Amino acid sequence: MCFPYASRPPIPPMAGAAVDSRDLELVAADGNRFAAFAAFASGAEPTALASGSAGPGRAVAGEPEATGPAVAAEPAVAAEPEATGPAEADEPVDASAIEPGVAEPAAAGVVILPDVRGLHPYYEELALRFAEAGIDAVAIDYFGRTAGVGKRAEGFDFGGHVAQTTWDGLRADIAAGFGWLRDERGPRTISSVGFCFGGRLAFVVAALAELELAGVVGFYGRPVGPGRGDVPAPADLASEMSCPVLGLFGGADEGIPATDVAAFDDALTEAGVAHELVTYPGAPHSFFDRHQERFASESADAWERMLAFIRHPASIGA
């Protein structure tokens, strides 16, 4: 498992930040219904698609069931904001009944691709942290086809469900998440952020030109070799990637050795893809976690790098 059930993002809530959040149920192009969670900056309300719309990513009514891999310098420890405790999501709503909002959408938006647990509370809280930072966010689930859309308790057998995922299905659901964020909020740029299983997916979707991504961020996603199911290897798709790539890795991650990161860097460089691959010495897989207190400074550095990249993806060079 990437994290224990009680894991949460290492970024404390921002005191005084105004955000709005929603549980959603989205529909992919192949008809799959799956859960998602959205958080919006500055208390902005999402708009609703016209009744009866059948486009991918529409919300439905009903109760939701640098060149060369960089080695990070010793990051400065960020000043700790006043902790107010994890924010909680609003009650699920009928997304088709949401009134059009009056607030401006954020300049940037992200679609969050979780680890093997799917839409875990970790990723709902991460969406809130993005919204507090002024970035609209939607986190999606992977298991609508096999586990439905309801909330899941500790002990959920995600392993049996992730084994049934396919690239075609994942691609449809990811496209629906991007479509919903683009149609409902209209941020000027949209990026993808993924972790572990989702980190590999985040790298891969850089090759999906139809998504019109501004950039992708992958935390400890394996960039080479076979992965779960039939998800292709990111390095094999480097020549098809059409946006900048930021990769964040742990130097002590036994599942992603330095040779894998170097091979990914070589593939991106050869393909002319703007990228930065950062390795934090001594950090394990899944270091970006509130319970990994030893790596709080690495997490703070990764968070700031990620925010800067999402706001200005063109800031990194090929």
Q: What DSSP letter does each residue of 14-65 carry, written as one string? A: -TT--EEEEEEEEE-TTS-EEEEEEEEETTPPPP-PPTT---TT-B-SS---
pLDDT of residue 227: 86
Taking CA atoms, 72 is separated from 162, 188, 250, 280, in Å, by 32, 30, 10, 5
> pTM for this structure?
0.81
How far apart (Å, rounded) are the C-alpha atoms in residues 195 and 176?
Answer: 19
How far apart (Å, rounded) are the C-alpha atoms in residues 237 and 199?
Answer: 15
The whole-number average pLDDT for the span 97-124 is 78
| Residue 148 is assigned to a structural domain of this protein | yes
Between 91 and 283, whose confidence is greater?
A: 283
**Domain that residue 222 falls in:** 21-64+84-315
- Tokens 């139809």 -> residue: 210
pLDDT of residue 278: 98
Given pLDDT bands bounded at 50, 70 and 90, which one contains residue 105?
low
Confidence check: pLDDT of 157 > 60:
yes
The whole-number average pLDDT for the span 85-100 is 38
The token pair at 62 is 């009903």
| Residue 15 is assigned to a structural domain of this protein | no
Instruction: Compute the mean pLDDT over every residue in the chain, rounded to the nearest whole number.
Output: 82
What backbone phi and psi angles, to 5 degrees, belong to 87?
Answer: -75, 150
What is the per-residue burial (b if ≥16 Cβ within 10 Å, else e) of 62-97?
Answer: eebeeeebbebeebeeeeeeeeeeebebeebeebbe
Residue 55 maps to which CATH number? 3.40.50.1820
Confidence check: pLDDT of 110 > 90:
yes
| Residue 147 is assigned to a structural domain of this protein | yes
Between 184 and 87, whose confidence is greater?
A: 184
Confidence check: pLDDT of 178 > 50:
yes
| Residue 146 is assigned to a structural domain of this protein | yes
| Residue 294 is assigned to a structural domain of this protein | yes
Question: CB count, 10 Å around CB of 291?
Answer: 13
Confidence check: pLDDT of 193 > 50:
yes
pLDDT of residue 200: 98
Contact 245, 273 (CB under 8 A): yes
| Residue 288 is assigned to a structural domain of this protein | yes
Given pLDDT bands bounded at 50, 70 and 90, which one contains residue 70?
low
The whole-number average pLDDT for the span 189-214 is 97
- Tokens 């093997």 -> residue: 116
pLDDT of residue 102: 35
The whole-number average pLDDT for the span 36-48 is 68
- pLDDT for 10-31, tens place per residue? 787 887 777 899 999 999 999 9
Number of domains in the chain: 1
| Residue 11 is assigned to a structural domain of this protein | no
| Residue 77 is assigned to a structural domain of this protein | no
Confidence check: pLDDT of 173 > 60:
yes
* Percent of the chain whose pLDDT exceeds 70: 77
